[in-house]
Each structure stands twice: as C-alpha cells, then as structure tokens.
Structure 1
Amino acid sequence: MTSHLAEAGRTLIPRKDDRYGLLSPALVILTFVAGLVDALSYLALGHVFVANVTGNIVFLGFAFAHAQGFVWWTSALTLATFMVGAFIGGRIIHYFGNNRARHLLVSTAIQLAFVVAALIGIYLLNQFAPEPSMGGTDASAIARAAQPSLNFPTARHIDLHIILLIVLLAPAMGIQNSTARKLSVPDLPTTVLTMTLTGIIADTSAHGHEQSKLGRRAIVMLALALGALTGATLQTRGHEDMILMVMIACLIAVIAMMLPYIHSDARWITDSK
C-alpha cells in the first residue's frame, strides 16, 4: 500500500528526473476537466458525452430506436464538432508536436478559448433570451424573468443553449483528446479509462499486485470521478455557468504549469518516445 501511495504522489508531484515530468499532473487536471464537461453534457445537453465521445455512437443507435430521452441530432452534432476539434488538434501537433510543453500549452490555450467563448455565449444568449417566468404574474416572478441569467433556460429557447455549448465544448474536447493521444503518457488518456481499469485487474492477475500501477491509475480514475461529482453537483443546483468557470480555472492552471518550460530541453519535453 505504501508503494502505491508513493506512486500516486509521484504522479501528482513528479521528481526532477521523471520521464514525463509535469505532463502527468497536467493530464490529471485535464482528466478532471473531462469529468466536469461530461457531467454538464449528459445531464444538461440531452444525453450526450462531449469528452467520452464514443458513447454518442451508441446513443445514436438508441435515438434511431426511439428510446426515451435520446435525440439523434445532439449525438450527431457532438460527433461532428468533436471531429473538428480533433482536426484542429492535428494541426497543432503538426506545428508544435516536437516540443511537449509548447504543444500542451498551445492546445490548452485554444481549448480555453472555446470554453471562454461558451461562457460568454451563454451570458449573451440569456441577456437576449432571458428565462421566461414559470411562477405566475406576481411581481417577483416578473422581476426574475426580466433579469438575465447565466443558468440555462428550461423553456422555448433551450435548444439554442444546447447547440451553442455542443458546438463550442465538443471541439475543445476533440483538441484535448488529440493532445493526450500524441503525448502518450501511460495511463493518462484524460477521457476513456476502460483500459486503465482493465490494466489494474489484468496486470495484478498476470504479474502480481506490485505491478498493477494502482497508485497512478487510481489517481486518474479519481480525477475523472471527482470531476463528474463536481459537475453533477453544480448542475443539479442550477450552476452550469460555474462548471464552465471551474473548467477555465483548470485550463489556466495547465497553461501556467507549461509556460516556464516552452524553451526547456528537459527530457520530458523533448523525448517523444
């Protein structure tokens, strides 16, 4: 157990000679972001996964079978815009892929721009389409209806909010996925953790408990779960805007981690193997 805790600690606070350096804690933060955005997308945007986008292919099948609660166009739009993000991520790799710190900084900065645009877009959309009064004609209900909100309306203009957020958040996560794929830090894909969980059990069975990499793998699974917990808690309390703000804070943290190293020749920056 002590060795697993030490391994978890080295993932969050790597040694100076660590092969992956600050990439590991940065990708743990991005895994937390993935949990946040999937909580928002699944609970508020009509049963779609913006980060773990594979599920949308299954959801398309559900929608075409007319399963309750599943709409085909949200899954299709998510898949299409996610691919746009992956394309952008590929161009970032083309220009910055030979320097891991610069690559992660640029991709995260562009991802941040999409999330900031989503927050601003929601604010502006609510100003021009404020939430309609659902509580009668009393003065307090009218006052509530007249004030813009950063939270999602629940009536006639909800589709605009769904479209806006999918179109901006899915490309952001496409960029993140392409970046994590290129960096190829073991056990830190930032989104789909099926193989991470499989690795814990399979490696323990095949090679023994000490070879399971439990500490490292548990950290990333915990990050995704905590992101989902945080996002779900905020969403169920009507604070979808706060989810975007937390995402912005996390992305800024990753940028701040990478910024001092964009001209460094440390092994974790220049070694692409």
Structure 2
Amino acid sequence: MSEQAGPSASASAARRERQQTVVMATLTVLAGAVDAISFLTMGHVFTALATGNLLFLSFAVAGEGELPVARPAIALAAFVLGAAAGALATGGLVARHRHWFAAALAVEGALLALAGGTALWRHGTGSLTAHPDNLVIAVVGFAMGLRADTALRAAVPGMPTLLVQVSLVRLVHGLTGATGGAGAAAGPHPLPRVRLVATVAGIFAGGVLGTLITPWGTGRALLAVAAAVLVTAAANVVLARYHLLSPELIG
C-alpha cells in the first residue's frame, strides 16, 4: 500500500508544481502587458515596474529634459498603497483560511477593468498618450501594487511576476555552473530552471503582447488584460477545488 502511495504522491506533487508554474507564468506575461500599455499609451509611465518610476522621478527632480514629476510620483505612490492594502486584506484572508490568491487576483482584475472603463468613459477608444489621465494611472498602479503583494505572499521561487533581474541572474548562475549565495536554491534543491526561463520570457512576451494591443486604445487594452486576470482567478478556484493546485496558491 505504501509503495503505491509514494509514486502517486510524487506524481501529484509534480502536477501541482506544473500548474503553479503555468499560473505564475501567465501572470508574468500579463504584468509585462500592463507595463507596455501604460508606458506606450499613458504618458511614458510604468505601473508595474516601480524601479522605472523611481528613476523617472529622480530624473524629473534633477531637471533632466521634459520628464514629468506627477505621473511617476502618482504611479509609485499608488503602487505602494496597493501593496499595503494587499498586505492587510490578504493577511486577513489567509488567517481565515480563505482562497486568498484567487481573491487577490479577482480584485486586481476588477481594478484593471475599472481603469479601462474610466479611460473609455473619459477619453473614448483612443490612446491617452496626448492627454495622460492621473486617475487611470493611479488605479492601475494600485492594482500592480496589489499584484506585488500577491506574488510575494505566494513565494514561488524564481517567479515574482513583476521583475526579471534576480531570475535572470539565477538563470545565468545555473547555466555557468556557479554555486553559492543565499538565494541560489529553494530548500535543498536548485530552483527549477524552467521557472526562471518562464519569468524572463514571460516579461518579454508580455511586452510584445501589450504593444500589439495598444492600437485598440488604452481603455480596451486594459479591459482585455483585466479579463485575462479574472479568467486566471477563476481557473485558480477550479484547480483548487479539484486539488490540482499547489497549497501555497490556495490559502
């Protein structure tokens, strides 16, 4: 009996890890798409890449060129508030053993839909490049701050969904055979290389995807990404119900 249970448990764990990787890779692609939409159609501002906004803000404060102060500052502040709200609200769901991951994604999707609807209502179906809307920027930035908290809480090794630097360096370490470093491994085993590749490729693919849908206009492009996030949240609930998802993404 125990001999049969061992391989079965291993197969189940491997399947859940694959599901987990697919979910996080999907979210990585969508994060890249959001940043492409925001940068190309919302006045050269990032909403997911906080590092970019901080640098833009520093350039503007130093008086370099025509870089604005307001847009990166609003995006950065909204991101921080979103992360703080996620930390507080999601922590409560985890404490009550709720489906925190799907709930966080549902809120993110609703916020992106709100931003897309606001862009359509206030500016029509075109791009906001010529007339950036600080409210739309703030809502999207808040949603991405919430995503940052979600990814941090999920703690899937090598898959932060918003950044590639650490994943890229760990991938290089793996390819070159480098060893050592506190973050070089997750537990006793090295990080799965496929997750590192999925993170780097996912951001790139998301940037391409976001660029391709920018002709739809800011509002409709954001609504498309919002729909994809909400579908991912629903899929997470279904997978959890049938015990096909890693417990870390259930709560």
Q: Normalising TM by the smaller chain, what interval?
A: 0.7 to 0.9
Q: 2-side partners of 1:72 and 1:176: how far apart?
A: 24
Shift of the 106–212 alpha-carbon distance from structure 1 to 2, 3 Å rule, reads: closer
- 1:77 to 2:74 alignment: yes
* Change over 3 Å in CA distance of 1:122–1:270 after alignment to 2: closer
Contact 2:53 2:72 in 1 (8 A): yes
How far the C-alpha of 1:215 sits from its partner, in A, is 2.7
Structure 1 segment 74-223 matched on structure 2, within 5 A: 74-97=71-94, 102-126=99-123, 149-152=124-127, 158-159=131-132, 162-204=133-175, 205-206=177-178, 213-223=192-202
Shift of 1:175: 0.6
Larger Rg computed on CA atoms: 1
Partner of 1:224: 203
The residue that corresponds to 1:234 in the other structure is: 213
Q: CA deviation at 1:52?
A: 1.3
Alignment pair present for 1:260 and 2:238: yes
- Rounded to whole Å, the distance in 1 between the matches of 2:101 and 2:249 is 14
Q: Pick closer, same or farther for the CA change 1:100–1:165 going to 2, 3 Å.
A: farther
Contact 1:48–1:74 (Cα < 8 Å) also in 2: yes
Output one character per residue of 1:208-233: Cα deviation in whole Å (capped at 9) or x when no partner.
xxx67433221222121111011122
Letter matched to residue 251 of structure 1: V
SS at match of 1:22: helix
Structure 1 SS opposite 2:12: coil
Counterpart in the other structure of 2:65: 68
**Which consecutive unaligned segments of at least 5 residues does structure 2 have?**
1-10, 180-189
- Say whether residues 1:246 and 2:246 are aligned partners: no
Indicate the SS of the match to 2:156. Answer: coil
Query: Which letter maps to 1:107?
Result: A
- SS in structure 2 opposite 1:151? coil
Task: Summarize the Cα distance change of 1:21–1:88 in structure 2 as closer, same or farther, 3 Å threshold.
Answer: farther
Partner Cα separation in structure 1 for residue 101 and residue 191 of structure 2: 28
Contact 1:88-1:175 within 8 A present in 2 as well: yes
User: When the two structures are superposed, what TM-score results if normalisation uses the length of structure 2?
Assistant: 0.80
Give yes or no for contact 1:101–1:262 (8 Å, CA) kept in 2: no
Gaps of 5+ in 1: 1-14, 127-148
Asked if 1 retains the 8 angstrom alpha-carbon contact of 2:79 and 2:142, the reply is yes
In the alignment, does 2:28 pair up with 1:31?
yes
Distance 1:265 1:115, change over 3 A: same
Runs of 4+ deviating beyond 4 Å:
98-101, 261-267
Q: How far, CA to CA, are the matches of 1:263 and 1:35 in structure 2?
A: 29
Report % sequence identity: 24
RMSD: 2.8
